[in-house]
């Protein structure tokens, strides 16, 4: 019987033929690649079936991740036939030039299929740098090393996107973005950070102008937000639906939809372009890879944070289950991408085969894999195993990835959270097909003395970083950043029932629902949360949690935006490769209601908020990720975008002292003689401007 390495070959045998003509010269391990094309066939087949049947299947397969193997089992029973004449179907379905031969889609000469079952142009091998980051050599690549400050933008769908917009606007207003070395974002946070990092348009254009609450009348609020915020007013529902009905390639549907609404409008929607950190790097890459050109790359403007991490996850290799012990972070950056350190027990991950029933065979061994160990230059990410120097080196030769890790793909992957809300919302269109949308990437580990090479590449299901760390804190701690700001743009309200400032300790049960769950997991409460993989995220002592919740509660009670600034000892966490025994200055912003903010709003806006569910701002500020507005899946109105982003911007500016202490390293008492004194009394803009001038003086005199 089959063993894992040849499972897919066996299936190919069972199924008879595959949908694509595999060209061996194209790819070293094409056997594994076929699995993804089965996904496509299944997707197509399900659509041919009645909606009721699709729904049944959806219910039956209420699992988090796609089962390629399972799919192929079904295919062996009932195979899809393509009408002989429908080459155009093949073209849209395989994302590249194809021809239809005897009812099968074949790649045209010069093209070959890859991990996603689509036809890609054959490209020359590439020469790229590999950086080991593991027990033997712990250093991150230069741009991601020696970072002093970090800002982390949490996930949380459109709410997190819009709140992140307000956060960046506030920080920019205080001139603190230029003092941020590392920006980490997850999911919805990446919908804002991705465009912000790479667009060369003015920051004002992108983020919108600074606001003050007293000016946010309904008339003002209904004007169009800045360019990035405008993206939040466009819905993806119709794009997804059209794509489904057109039979578009399922792997691209999600990424394409976000590309369409978020990136294309600001000129970043070309998915043939690679990411790179700056022009001199592009020149170096081109020198070593003459088939690439300057136009093939996008780079961030020079005034953006030096390091940028879009957080995704590796769920499991195709055909295998993901669980708490297999999910691993995938860190996508303009310079290097991959998975640092060797996560897992003793640095290895154990993957069980997916589903108990498929093949009903015990012959398929659980898979034990070494994953991670470092990063590869982003333009080469997704390649097959390098020909040499898998343990790291400069200009290492490897097969070209079949398509770039484009900004759109990174943004889409970082937010590919179908498992939870989207598949539910998409049930009408055949929720089960959402499973087939999970992106796939080729990954190989960086080898070392402990895990010597060569080690083969595998196809991983990849997805939303929020499954594992929805805060973005962990990549910052991995890089030992000593001063960190976290924006928790959550819909969880700060617990107000118990008094966290009382001397008596409050139990884990109550603390465990008192703030964003992806903050509490950092204190060892990760096991309390179902449906996510947070078990391995403890980095702080449990006893350090209550004082922070006390801070948040105190501000919340006083009607102020809730923040807490504390110095915490970092605990060792070997799963993430985090060295313990050092201290981090951590500023937490926790999204919640602010009475002070609301009291400054013009009367008509206040009235609208007071109208609750009946008004324009139902749930404010905890807007829902899905169906905040009855006629859309994820979009908000301009007024909602403007109000929520202004709340967060206000929070940053009102707590300017805290933010400056952390990001500019300037002791707080320079800015706030009495903590929070006069907070309510000061006119926001005057206060902030006064501070800015004072700050400029201080900085210049240093």
Point out which residues bind ligand NAG (CB under 6 A).
Answer: 81, 83-84, 102-103, 270, 272-273, 295-296
Write the CA distances from 573 to 58, 129, 338, integer angstroms.
Answer: 37, 28, 19
If one counts every other C-beta atom within 10 angstroms of the C-beta of residue 618, the result is: 18
- Are 200 and 157 contacting, i.e. CB atoms less than 8 angstroms apart? no
Min separation Cβ 596 and ligand NAG, Å: 48
Q: Which is nearer to ligand NAG, 381 or 636 (CB)?
A: 381
Task: Choose between 83 and 603: whose C-beta lies nearer to ligand NAG.
Answer: 83
- Minimum distance, C-beta of residue 82 to ligand NAG, in the bound complex (Å): 8
Q: Is 628 helix (H, G, I), strand (E, B) or coil?
A: coil
Q: How far is the CB of 405 from ligand NAG (least distance, A)?
A: 14
Which helix or strand (DSSP H or E) is residue 153 part of?
strand 149-153
Of the candidates 239, 48, 265, 314, which has an alpha carbon nearest to the alpha carbon of residue 634?
239
Residue 295 buriedness (CB in 10 A; 0-12 / 13-18 / 19+): exposed
Encoding tokens for residue 13? 């045998």
d(CA 55, CA 51) in angstroms, rounded, equals 6
Residue 654, CA atoms < 13 Å, CB-side half-sphere:
29
Contact 185, 518 (CB under 8 A): no
Distances (CA, A) of 92 to 113, 259, 402, 407, 409: 14, 17, 17, 22, 18
Q: Which two tokens stand for residue 67?
A: 């089962």
Beta strands in 465-536 (DSSP E): 483-488
Q: Which is nearer to ligand NAG, 119 or 568 (CB)?
A: 119
* Residue count (the chain): 702
Instruction: Give the nearer residue to ligand NAG in terms of CB position, either 25 or 83.
Output: 83
Nearer to ligand NAG, 273 or 590 (CB): 273
User: Minimum distance from CB of 103 to ligand NAG (Å)?
Assistant: 5
CB of 187 to ligand NAG, least distance (A): 26
Angle, CA of 539, 164 and 331, to the nearest 5°: 50
Select 272 or 361, whichever has its Cβ closest to ligand NAG: 272
CB closer to ligand NAG out of 273 and 655? 273
Give min distance, CB of 514 to ligand NAG, in A. 48
CB nearer to ligand NAG: pick between 128 and 662: 128
Q: Which helix H or strand E contains 376, and what residues bound it? A: strand 374-377
In angstroms, give the least distance from the CB of 295 to ligand NAG. 4
Tokens representing residue 307 in the block: 């390091």
Q: In terms of CB distance, is 101 or 502 closer to ligand NAG?
A: 101
User: What's the min distance (Å) between Cβ of 86 and ligand NAG?
Assistant: 10
Q: How far is the CB of 101 from ligand NAG (least distance, A)?
A: 7
Give the nearest distance from C-beta 269 to ligand NAG in angstroms.
Answer: 8
Residue 264 CB, nearest approach to ligand NAG (Å): 10
Closest CA relative to residue 61, chosen from 532, 476, 432: 432
Burial 41-66 (b: 16+ CB within 10 A, else e): bbbbbbbeeeeeebbebbeeeeebbb
Our CB check for ligand NAG shows the closer of 100 and 232 to be 100
User: CA 702, CA 692: separation in Å to the nearest integer?
Assistant: 15
**CA 282/CA 335 separation, integer angstroms:** 10
Give the shortest CB-83-to-ligand NAG separation in angstroms: 6
Q: How far apart are CA 634 and CA 158, in angstroms?
A: 6
**Do 79 and 16 touch, CB atoms closer than 8 A?**
yes
**Residue nearer to ligand NAG on the CB measure, 84 or 202:** 84
Parallel, antiparallel, or unpaired: how do β-strands 336-339 and 440-443 relate? unpaired
Residue 91 or 389: the one with the smaller Cβ distance to ligand NAG is 91
């Amino acid at each position: 019987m089959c063993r894992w390495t040849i499972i897919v070959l066996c299936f190919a045998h069972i199924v008879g033929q595959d949908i694509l003509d595999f060209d061996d010269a194209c790819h070293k391990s094409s056997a594994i690649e076929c699995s993804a094309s089965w996904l496509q066939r299944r997707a197509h087949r399900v659509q041919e079936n009645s909606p009721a049947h699709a729904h049944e299947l959806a219910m039956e397969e209420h699992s988090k991740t796609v089962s390629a193997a399972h799919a192929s089992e079904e295919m062996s029973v009932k195979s899809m036939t393509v009408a002989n004449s429908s080459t155009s179907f093949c073209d849209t379905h395989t994302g590249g030039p194809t021809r239809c031969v005897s009812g099968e889609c074949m790649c045209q000469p010069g093209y070959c299929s890859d991990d996603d079952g689509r036809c890609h142009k054959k490209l020359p091998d590439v020469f790229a740098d590999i950086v080991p980051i593991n027990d033997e050599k712990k250093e991150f690549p230069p741009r991601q090393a020696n970072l002093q400050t970090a800002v982390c933008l949490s996930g949380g769908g459109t709410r997190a996107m819009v709140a992140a917009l307000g956060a960046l606007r506030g920080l920019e207003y205080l001139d603190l973005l230029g003092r941020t070395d590392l920006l980490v974002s997850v999911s919805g946070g990446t919908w804002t950070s991705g465009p912000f990092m790479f667009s060369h348009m003015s920051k004002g254009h992108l983020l919108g102008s600074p606001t003050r609450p007293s000016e946010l009348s309904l008339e003002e609020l209904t004007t169009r937000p800045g360019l990035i915020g405008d993206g939040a007013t466009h819905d993806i529902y119709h794009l997804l639906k059209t794509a489904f009905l057109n039979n578009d390639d399922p792997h691209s549907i999600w990424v394409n939809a976000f590309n369409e609404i978020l990136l294309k409008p600001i000129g970043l929607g070309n998915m043939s372009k690679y990411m790179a950190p700056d022009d001199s790097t592009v020149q170096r890459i081109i020198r070593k890879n003459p088939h690439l050109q300057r136009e093939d790359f996008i780079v961030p403007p020079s005034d953006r944070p030096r390091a940028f991490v879009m957080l995704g996850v590796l769920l499991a290799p195709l055909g295998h289950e993901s669980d708490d012990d297999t999910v691993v972070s995938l860190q996508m950056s303009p310079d290097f991408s991959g998975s640092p350190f060797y996560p897992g027990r003793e640095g290895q991950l154990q993957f069980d085969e997916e589903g108990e029933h498929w093949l009903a065979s015990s012959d398929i061994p659980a898979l034990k894999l070494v994953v991670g160990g470092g990063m590869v230059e982003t333009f080469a990410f997704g390649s097959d195993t390098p020909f040499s120097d898998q343990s790291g080196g400069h200009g290492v030769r490897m097969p070209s990835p079949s398509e770039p890790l484009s900004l759109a793909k990174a943004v889409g992957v970082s937010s590919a959270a179908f498992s939870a809300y989207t598949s539910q919302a998409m049930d009408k269109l055949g929720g089960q097909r959402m499973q087939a949308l999970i992106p796939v990437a080729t990954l190989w580990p960086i080898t070392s003395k402990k895990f010597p090479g060569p080690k083969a590449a595998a196809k991983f299901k990849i997805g939303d970083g929020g499954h594992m760390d929805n805060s973005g804190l962990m990549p910052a701690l991995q890089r030992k950043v000593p001063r960190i700001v976290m924006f928790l743009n959550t819909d969880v309200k700060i617990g107000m029932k118990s008094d966290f400032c009382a001397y008596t300790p409050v139990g884990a049960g109550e603390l465990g629902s008192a703030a964003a769950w992806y903050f509490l997991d950092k204190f060892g409460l990760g096991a309390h949360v179902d449906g996510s993989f947070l078990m391995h995220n403890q980095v702080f002592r449990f006893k350090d949690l209550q004082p922070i919740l006390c801070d948040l509660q105190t501000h919340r009670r006083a009607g102020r935006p809730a923040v807490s600034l504390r110095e915490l000892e970092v605990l060792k966490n070997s799963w993430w490769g985090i060295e313990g025994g050092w201290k981090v200055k951590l500023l937490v912003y926790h999204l919640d209601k602010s009475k002070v903010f609301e009291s400054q709003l013009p009367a008509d806006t206040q009235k609208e908020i007071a109208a609750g569910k009946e008004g324009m701002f139902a749930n404010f500020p905890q807007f829902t990720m899905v169906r905040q507005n009855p006629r859309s899946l994820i979009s908000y109105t301009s007024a909602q975008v403007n109000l929520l982003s202004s709340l967060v911007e206000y929070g940053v500016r009102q707590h300017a002292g805290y933010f400056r202490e952390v990001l500019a390293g300037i002791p707080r008492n320079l800015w706030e003689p009495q903590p929070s004194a006069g907070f309510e009394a000061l006119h926001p803009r005057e206060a902030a401007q006064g501070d800015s001038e004072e700050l400029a003086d201080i900085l210049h005199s240093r």
